[in-house]
């Protein structure tokens, strides 16, 4: 059976990674969380003090890019690949609200995007990949056979994110999370390089009123159809 490329884009916390992981598992495809790569670069910038609340030394970050190695290692127990920064598992460290608050300015830098897009294209060159992010259907895999553009209201998304962070033991309040979600939407869709846009041939998918299972079933059917159309 021919393998396809599945590109899932959309605003933050729309549940892209949840359904992308489910699809990859059901189809025996590789799942790649491209946002984790931007988060790992952000973590590197934080660790080296290139970015903090007051300033962002983007030139230093750009000059250090060749020293940033991002890789993924499949975790059998979790059932998905965790992200590593220079050989260290940073899957948990990249999910904090602090990283979320710095990631958009880092993801605006063209040099960062160029490096990560090249790596993403390499990971998907043999197809059989489900990748989620902001520019997967527009820039990374413009020829993907199935493109989904996910959306949900900002409140629904902030609520999901808030509970996720609470479950992880973070000390946060809902308003802070809602503010971060809206701010990132704004920066991600207004930046100059590869702004978040629905690709012309992407299927728009609002999941505000769908359960995780309903969303999975619908998208799996779309994926099966795209696979059979290709075969």
Residue 195, Cβ density class (10 Å: 0-12 exposed, 13-18 middle, ≥19 buried): middle
Choose among 19, 42, 16: nearest CA to 216.
19
124 binds ligand DC (CB under 6 A): no
- Rg of the chain over all Cα atoms, to the nearest angstrom: 17
15 binds ligand DC (CB under 6 A): no
With CB under 6 A as the contact rule, the residue among 129, 150, 177, 188 that binds ligand DC is: 188
Work out which of 6, 7, 8, 12 binds ligand DC, going by CB under 6 A: 12
Distance from first CA to last CA of the chain, Å, rounded?
6
Q: The sheet that has 88-89: what strands, in order across it?
A: 70-75, 80-85, 88-89
Work out whether strand 30-33 and strand 70-75 pair parallel, antiparallel, or are unpaired.
unpaired
Q: Which is nearer to ligand DC, 1 or 192 (CB)?
A: 192
Could you say whether residue 35 binds ligand DC (CB under 6 A)? Answer: yes
Interface size with ligand DC, residues (CB under 6 A): 14
User: 187 near 105, Cβ under 8 Å?
Assistant: yes
User: For the window 93-112, what string marks contact with ligand DC as x by the rule CB under 6 A?
Assistant: ----------xx--x-----
4/35 with CB nearer ligand DC:
35
CA distance linking residue 157 with residue 79, whole number of Å? 24
Burial class, 55, CB count within 10 angstroms (exposed 0-12 / middle 13-18 / buried 19+): exposed
Applying CB under 6 A, does 21 fall inside the site for ligand DC?
A: no
Instruction: State which of residues 38, 80, 162, 216 lies at the interface with ligand DC (CB under 6 A).
Output: 38
In the complex with ligand DC, the residue whose CB is nearer, 145 or 188, is 188
Interaction between residue 133 and ligand DC (CB under 6 A): yes
Instruction: Find the binding residues for ligand DC in span 145-184 (CB under 6 A).
Output: 184
Residue from 135, 162, 165, 219 in contact with ligand DC (CB under 6 A): 135
Which residues bind to ligand DC, rule: CB under 6 A? Answer: 12, 34-35, 38-39, 103-104, 107, 133-136, 184, 188
């Amino acid at each position: 059976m021919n393998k396809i490329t599945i590109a899932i884009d959309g605003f933050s916390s729309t549940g892209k990674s949840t359904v992308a992981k489910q699809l990859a598992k059901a189809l025996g495809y590789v799942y790649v969380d491209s946002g984790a790569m931007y988060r790992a670069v952000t973590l590197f910038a934080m660790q080296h003090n290139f970015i903090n609340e007051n300033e962002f030394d983007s030139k230093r970050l750009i000059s250090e890019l060749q020293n940033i190695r991002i890789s993924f290692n499949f975790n059998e127990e979790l059932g998905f690949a965790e992200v590593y920064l220079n050989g260290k598992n940073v899957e948990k460290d990249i999910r904090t609200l602090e990283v979320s608050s710095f990631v958009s300015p880092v993801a605006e830098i063209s040099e960062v995007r160029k490096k990560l897009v090249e790596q993403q294209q390499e990971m998907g060159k043999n197809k059989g990949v489900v990748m989620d992010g902001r520019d997967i259907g527009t820039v990374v895999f413009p020829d993907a056979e199935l493109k989904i553009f996910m959306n949900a209201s900002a409140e629904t998304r902030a609520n999901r994110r808030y509970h996720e962070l609470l479950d992880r033991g973070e000390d946060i309040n809902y308003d802070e999370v809602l503010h971060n979600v809206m701010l990132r939407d704004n920066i991600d869709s207004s930046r100059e390089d590869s702004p978040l846009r629905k690709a012309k041939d992407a299927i728009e998918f609002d999941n505000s009123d769908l359960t995780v299972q309903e969303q999975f079933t619908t998208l799996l059917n779309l994926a099966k159809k795209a696979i059979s159309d290709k075969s």
